Chain A
Amino acid sequence: MAIRRGRGVAAINYPTGMNLGGDPTQALVHSTPTGNFMVTLSSVDLGQGMKQIMAQICAETIGVPTDRVVVDTADTDTGPHCMGTFASRGTHRAGNAVIQAAREARQVMLEVAAEELEVNASDLETDGQGNILVKGAPQRSISIFDVALSAHFKRGRSISGRGMFLIPRSYPEKETGAMKPSTCYAHACTVAEVEVDDETGEVTVLTVKNVFEIGRALNPKLVEQQLVGGSWMGISHALYETTEPYYPNRDHGGTDFNQYLMPGPGDLAETEIIVLERPSADGPYGAKGPGEMCANPQIPAVANAVFDAVGVRIDTLPITPERILRALKAQAGAPN
């Protein structure tokens, strides 16, 4: 009886957005009288930082600092339609809608600035700090604060824009299954290292090294949050989680956090996250959806590592000590 070590690898891809498309999201953007910007949506923030990312996307597109953007969302009386926050679609779909709305608002903003500066709007650029400059002559400039005041009180213009993003729905061909499930895919490769106690069947995940390709990390810290939490959930799925431990038997389902098991703060694997960026052709600033795929590769990587450690295949999730011990017994030729 011994503690045995093993490691396993898995590589995966994952589609961004609802399968087969057809999932719209809209956004509205407008400026306040003093040149702050309001993004109006009906998308839901589940904790992934939807509001923060939409603010950064709007700010980048308009050309102002992020703290000048406020996101108002999840109210059906004010926010235009969003299909919902799921299917790794929030950043991709809503982000594209916000870009389109922000571009329209930016154009009006530049037109008003052009009137104030007596130049063509096409000769203007933003400095990202809240100012609009004449290209090549940055001493000729106007603040976005002043442009917004002018638009509101002098020129009678609405610095606002409408955005809509929709991937046309694909319908699978009946016999061949020809279809377009998604327009872009995130990727991952995970190497997991485990210890298996062949006496108790207990698995300890020592390390997980995750490489994720996510298009573009729009806010690296928010991406990191998703990826670290997802990696934890993947390990949790691999080793612990089930509402029906003896499926398809319907008994013994857990009803609280004492019975429904997940790794606690004392059960964490040493986790390494590396991010690659291959911008997607239709993503907002190249982003793909990282939220779901980041929890997938750890499951097979752990399963393969368990095999590498003790030489038994557990092809049924979760990989519990009971399953490992039964497999070890079977391998040794003992009755189950």
Chain B
Amino acid sequence: MELRKSYFADQRKDDLHEIGQPRPRSDSPGHVTGKTAYFADRNFPGMLHLKMVRSPHHHARIRSIDISEVEKHPGVVKVLTAKDVPHNVYTILILIQIGPEDETVLADGKVRWKGEAVVAILAETERAAQEAAAKVKVDYEVLPAVFDMEEALKPGAPIVNEYHGQNYYLYDSGECRKVRLGDVEAGFAGADHVLEQAYQSSPIEHAPTETTGCIVAPEGNDRFTCYTNTQAMFFTLDNASIILQMPGNKLHFVGGTVGGGFGGKVDVIVEPIAILGAKLTGRPVSFIYSREEEMQISSPRAAEKVVIKDGVMKDGRIVARKVTGYTDAGAYSRHSPYGAQKGAGHYPGPYTIPNVWIDTYCVYTNRTPSSAMRGFGVTIGDFALEVQMDKLARLIGMDPLEFRFINAYRDGDMKAHRQPTEGAALIECMQEASRAANWPVAEKYLSMSSYTKGA
């Protein structure tokens, strides 16, 4: 890695002692000796293992659940169903006033995705829990499912989640988050070329080497310590408090070094049910995702569809950009309404465009609920935007890098969401990339600056 200090040298003082120094990491000696304690490196006497019985169907009504054989299975200590969860219908962003509550801790009457948790089994050993899981009898009435976002948005599509009542998240702005600047239709009308293209992704797994999990130990004083690899301690504690209808002061969360997160450990899934198990049995409980669960049950990055329509002039100026983004939330909200909204704030990318129209939708389908991941709400949008930029440059016969210089935002430029640009540095990144990659651009672009429109 090279630090190029010649850029923005006037904005930076180099008078610091500790900042800017390549100090060794204080946690590395623990890592290389195997002594760093991860949550699962604790072992409590009498610890129970929690296994979930999951839905084999994408969408089904639950007619009945029969756990009589399970409770008799050797080693099984407790079997939990929806009626055991004090506040079974929840949503995690309720803490920042983004509702409605739309997800069940354990399925109640219905399953909305293949893999949804239905029954929790607590047993002396993992093996006993697994064997017992096979003895749960659930009578399902399979319902039509919808997997395609466009199908889901059509009238008459099966309703994925009744708590929403329609297959999209209802923002205060309506069926989507909107951003409007200028007159995008007039921009298209006056453009030399108009290009509309659609981009698509599929769900992506965080794949941390350490799977999601927690170990809960009763403290013996009506408090419960939850050793967890959550990325957000109080966010998880407060949501567990709501789900369990337990005062927060009865909960003690202990984290530490987490074996990779990438956004995959911000859902509140394993902790509440494990705490409930510990409370109802009085014993320590371990609930750790298998690799298979991590891959297909834990929330992935959402699949997205992004449609971009641009008006561009022969001289390289983009004069209008319309973006319609669809985020596939799967069956429940989790963080997806937030992610789709974040996309609305990100488009049209780091470019100054006078006429902008953005709609971002959060769509429900019968698949594993998606949630946050590194680059949440932006990563797939950037793929779409930057491939579109390449296409536009080629459409008007311009070098793709020079084309970006022409449109790059600079300090003071008004963004589509009506904030003036501050602290821009896109131009300088491109100038350095031009040099490092030996990708020549005209001198006028090399003399540009993010500070001013002076070029």
Contact = CB atoms under 8 A, between A and B. Distances in A.
* Touch A–B, Cβ below 8 Å: yes
Interface of A: 7-15, 19-20, 22, 42-47, 49, 51-52, 55-57, 59-60, 63, 65-66, 71, 73-77, 79, 81-87, 128, 172, 174-185, 187-191, 209, 211-213, 216-224, 227-228, 230, 233, 237-238, 241-245, 247-250, 253-257, 260, 262, 272-281, 285-286, 291-293, 295-297, 299-301, 303-304, 307, 313, 315-318
B257 interface: yes
Nearest to A188: B429
A317 B382 CA distance: 12
Nearest to A22: B96
B27 A52 contact: yes
A171 B31 CA distance: 42
A189 B432 contact: yes
Closest 5 CB pairs of A and B: A84-B232, A177-B179, A74-B255, A300-B386, A181-B345
Contact of A172 (B4, B22, B258, B344): B344
Interface residues of B, number: 126
B378 interface: yes
Contact of B200 (A75, A191, A315): A315
Contact of B387 (A66, A223, A242, A313): A313
Contacts of B204: 237, 241-243
Interface stretch (B13-21, B47-55, B64-72, B184-192): B13-21
A84 B266 contact: yes
B242 to A, nearest CB: 15
Contacts, number: 406
Nearest to A70: B26
Given A86-B372, A213-B429, 10 more contacts: A11-B404, A86-B263, A177-B178, A177-B179, A177-B417, A248-B148, A277-B12, A303-B386, A316-B200, A318-B202
A56 B374 contact: no
B43 interface: no
A83 B416 CA distance: 28
Residue of A7, A51, A187, A286 most packed against chain B (CB within 10 A): A187
Contacts of A87: 372, 376
Contacts of B292: 255-256
B317 interface: no
B345 A20 contact: yes
Residue of A56, A177, A279 most packed against chain B (CB within 10 A): A177
A180 B266 CA distance: 24
B418 A176 contact: yes
Given A178-B418, A220-B3, A315 B350 contact: no
Contact of B295 (A187, A233, A255): A255
Nearest to A223: B1
